Amino acid sequence: MTRVGTDVLVIGSGAGGATTAALLAEAGRTVTVVEEGPWIDPGAFEPFSLEEMARTYRHHGSSAALGVPPVAYAEGRCVGGSTEVNSGLWHRLPAELVEAWRRDYDIDEFTPDSLDRHAEALEAALSVRRLPGDLPPSSAVLARGAAALGWRSVEFARVFRYGPDGRAEKQTMARTMIPRAVAAGATILPGCRIDRLVTRPDGPGSRRVVAARGRRRHDDGSVGDLVIEADHVVVCCGAVQTPALLQRSGIRRGIGRGLKLHPTVKIAARFPDVLDHDDVPPYRVTEFSPAVAIGGSASRRGHVALALADSGVPFAGALADWERVFVYYAAIRSDAGGRVQALPGLRSPLVTYRLTDSDMSRLARGLVHLGELLLAAGATELYPSVTGGPVVRRVDDLGAWWDALTPARANLMTVHLTSTVRLGQDRTRTGADSFGSVWGHTNLRVNDASLVPDAPGVNPQAGVMTIAARNAEHFLATT
């Protein structure tokens, strides 16, 4: 049995948790961060490798939201959370969405200007910048195709530092916010899973968290009970685990519904020339945003093989030529919503997501747009993530994808899960107030992707960290 007492308990060490911990610790609060996954030294694994997936992802990288079709997703499970395993892409929340969310969810002090102030500070701290030098070939494909079709496109920044030798180092939470938190006196406890929060009545219609209970895996491999008593608890376990923990703790109102994600289709595209494969292209096509976003995916040999296999057609020739194959994606903003439900006796919650007809149509459109772009960029063969293909070699073949992309044949994935709690003063649509305080609780907050009210249409890391920094500042000013 381990007993810990702390001022602030932060559960989860990803983009939301690490940011919260660093800002609160630097303001002089006593902060303890618990993380279910292990501490992994940054750079210990080849980025996007299978070994990395096995060690740092939940379920070794293979989770799926149930529905027809199912949507595969991935979550980090290590100190630093998904920032350790993602591509480090940095997109501020689109201003028009911030405005719409403020209106729709009645969110106090939620304006593009107020968020930009936090975003700027984070960008300076994280070293958000563009790739030095010329576009790598995999990005140049997107730029070339967009130029040929007259489509808007943009090179974007990432959270990377570049050494004098040109070596790139992703500025994950384990390299940035976690060390800052530790330097300011925070305690990081890896290998700690919180199973439930214990709450007691605290005035009329209100409860407070008195303890967090869970299990701790010690360095020697032994496992023991863990109890943490804290004045304040901030849950930052991501859009799947945060609602699951709250539900297991008996907190259900407004929690776990409204899951949003970006359903994504892919194309493995073969080119006449060899492309780079070490990195994800920091370039995207915005012509059809926010409905459809187009960009490049991790394309090491294994990724190429998986993407080719998703087409369900013979691909040995393309795989043998994998250095000339790269994987590109089209991701959509979806009309559907999903649900996270903690089930008694099971460690993992049930995640369901049912795509609408309009979503399936938008995915088909994304596939056609992406195919047209890649052909315009000189691709010779396109393998879509649709079982049975068909493989496309010229523009005349593209139209067949509309009817090919059906719920039964589409192979979809996502990495952006959000919106299972949602912030705002409209209590009928949110699980937490404008600054992440869980309704009906005096000392319980959420501060992660769960709060983002709807799918942002872009990689959410910047939005999650920006909202987390904003809420941390509010916490310090009011508590």
Partner 1 sequence: MDVQAPETAVVTGAAGWLGQNLVRDLLADGRRVRGLVRTDEEAALLEVAGRAVETVVGDVRDPATLDRLFAGAAGATVFHAAAVIHPAGRTRELFDVNVGGTALVLDRARRAGVHRFVHVSSNSPFGFNPHPGHRFTEDSPYAPYLAYGRSKHEAELLVQQAHDRGDLATVIVRPPWFYGPHQPERQTRFLAAVRRGRFPIVGDGSQRRSMAYTGNLVHGLRRAEVAAAAPGRAYWIADPQPYELRAVLDTVRAALRAEGLAVTARQPRLPAVAGRVAVRVDTALQAAGRYVQPIHVLGELGETIACDVTRAVDELGYRPATTLLDGMRASIRWCLERGRAL
Binding site for partner 1 (CB under 8 A): 149-150, 287-288, 291, 356-358, 360-362, 364-365, 368-369, 372, 395-396, 398-399, 402
Q: How far apart are CA 108 and CA 92, in angstroms?
A: 19
Cβ nearer to partner 1, comparing 180 with 365: 365
Cβ nearer to partner 1, comparing 240 with 355: 355
Question: Residue 179 Cβ, how far from partner 1 at the closest point, in Å?
Answer: 43
Q: How far apart are CA 53 and CA 329, in angstroms?
A: 20
Q: Which residues of 17-46 are buried (b: 16+ CB within 10 A; e: fewer)?
A: bbbbbbbbbbeebbbbbbbbbebbebeebe
Residues 6+ apart with CB under 8 A from 320: none
Residue 239, both tokens:
């859009």
Cβ nearer to partner 1, comparing 91 with 362: 362
Question: Residue 408 Cβ, how far from partner 1 at the closest point, in Å?
Answer: 13
Q: How far apart are CA 126 and CA 15, in angstroms?
A: 12
Cβ nearer to partner 1, comparing 67 with 190: 67
Residues 6+ apart with CB under 8 A from 17: 10, 11, 33, 35, 81, 234, 236, 237, 447, 448, 468
Question: Residue 185 Cβ, how far from partner 1 at the closest point, in Å?
Answer: 50
173, 84 Cβ separation under 8 angstroms: yes
Q: How far apart are CA 330 and CA 90, in angstroms?
A: 18
118: annotated active-site residue: no
Catalytic residue among 277, 303, 416, 474: 416
Query: Alpha carbon of 55 to those of 42, 45, 58: distances in Å?
Result: 12, 9, 8
Question: Residue 456 Cβ, how far from partner 1 at the closest point, in Å?
Answer: 18
Phi-psi region of 38 (alpha: psi -120 to 50; beta: other; left: phi over 0): beta
As beta bridge partners, residue 330 has 265, 294
**Residue 322 DSSP label:** G
Task: Supply angle C-alpha 434, 435, 436, rounded to 5.
Answer: 100
Question: Residue 337 Cβ, how far from partner 1 at the closest point, in Å?
Answer: 13
Question: Residue 307 Cβ, how far from partner 1 at the closest point, in Å?
Answer: 22
Cβ nearer to partner 1, comparing 372 with 473: 372
Cβ nearer to partner 1, comparing 279 with 359: 359
Q: Which residues are catalytic?
A: 416
